[in-house]
Structure 1
Amino acid sequence: MNELQELVKQCGVELYDTEIANENSKVIYRVYITKEGGVSLDECESVSRLLSPIFDVTPPVSGEYTLEVSSPGLERKLSLPKHFKASIGELVKVQAAELKILGRLVKADEENICIENDEGIFEIKILDIKKAKTYLEW
């Protein structure tokens, strides 16, 4: 992951996350990139052009796959402390053990997050989070 971070930085963007997805019996290796002010289509293409020949030699997954490079989107998965820190002030959905909570992310550090909603402020350990993402109210 550190090598990938350094490669992506060469294109002027930051690595947000990666994932392997199976869709319509095809394997997709997704690379999510981000930067202040948003990511352009040209930046996604630059990262893809940089990574494609490297992945031809050292594939990120075994077998056939498709490489996709994109921004994480407005409703994005949160899994690392840096994801939570960058999302302070946004609405989030979090599932941890038996707890499911929706609210505004008001604080985040390396170990915990705090979510505020009509019921109060909830502090949750990042290690206890099973699933988290930002969401938009329409």
Structure 2
Amino acid sequence: MSTTQSERLRELLEPLVTSQGLDLEEIAVDSVGRKRVLSVIVDSDTGADLDQIADVSRALSAKLDESDAMGEGEYTLEVGTPGAERALTEHRHYVRATGRLVKFQLHEGGEIVARILDVDDDGLDVEVPGVKGRKATARRLAFADIDKARVQVEFNRKDSDVDSDVAKDMKEEEEA
């Protein structure tokens, strides 16, 4: 069974990233002119600060220097975090996005933009913002119903309290 360079790099680097308290989210090798760029995306439940990024970057660089995983040619190593509008593809991504506004593309067709209130093993509870003066509404989304999900950037968020009236209503309904 043949493995790609990205798979070999993941096998080599993931234990090192994990030992630094981070998750290895993505590896990509791209050619830019004659040079190659190895991009490594890391994250954790609490995020990754610049010191952690620098530490893991040094550790990855040393590991790559002692191996032949990147071959003989020159390359640039870039280590970073997923970014503001990250795609949600794993359960942990949804958990980390609790409280954030997300655009969901649904299997049944259509899309909704909603705030993630709670995540469990089967899906998530979301709050769909009200339009034209209407109240926000609660909705349950099963993971199986979601094709794609991407965090949305909010510049003017007025209420940073995740436990909104809708979330309180949902909890009251569950208790009843």
When normalised by structure 1's length, the TM-score is: 0.72
- For 1:79 and 1:100, the matched residues in 2 are separated by 16
1:34-113 paired onto structure 2 within 5 Å = 34=44, 36=46, 38-56=47-65, 57=67, 59=69, 66-97=76-107, 98-113=109-124
Which deviations, in whole Å up to 9, do the C-alpha atoms of 1:83-134 show, x marking residues without a partner?
1112212111111221311011112122312322136333333244332122
Amino acid in structure 2 at the alignment position of 1:135: Q
Q: RMSD between aligned alpha carbons?
A: 3.2
Give the length in aligned residue pairs: 135
Runs of 4+ deviating beyond 6 Å? none
Q: Deviations over 1:21-52 (max 9, x none)?
A: 7585655432222352x423232121122122
When structure 1 is superposed on structure 2, of 124-133 and 100-109 the one drifting more is 124-133
Residue aligned with 1:130, SS: strand
CA drift at 1:55: 3.6
Change (3 A) 1:10 1:105: same
Q: Provide the identity percentage.
A: 30
* 8 Å Cα contact 1:29-1:68 kept in structure 2: yes
Q: Greater relative contact order (Cα 8 A, min sep 6): structure 1 or 2?
A: 1
Q: Which has the larger radius of gyration?
A: 2
* Structure with higher strand content: 1
Q: 1:71 to 1:29 in 2, by over 3 A?
A: closer
Report which of the two has the higher share of helix: 2
The 5-angstrom pairing of residues 112-127 of structure 1 reads 112-117=123-128, 118=130, 120-127=137-144
Structure 1 contact 33–69 (Cα < 8 Å) conserved: no
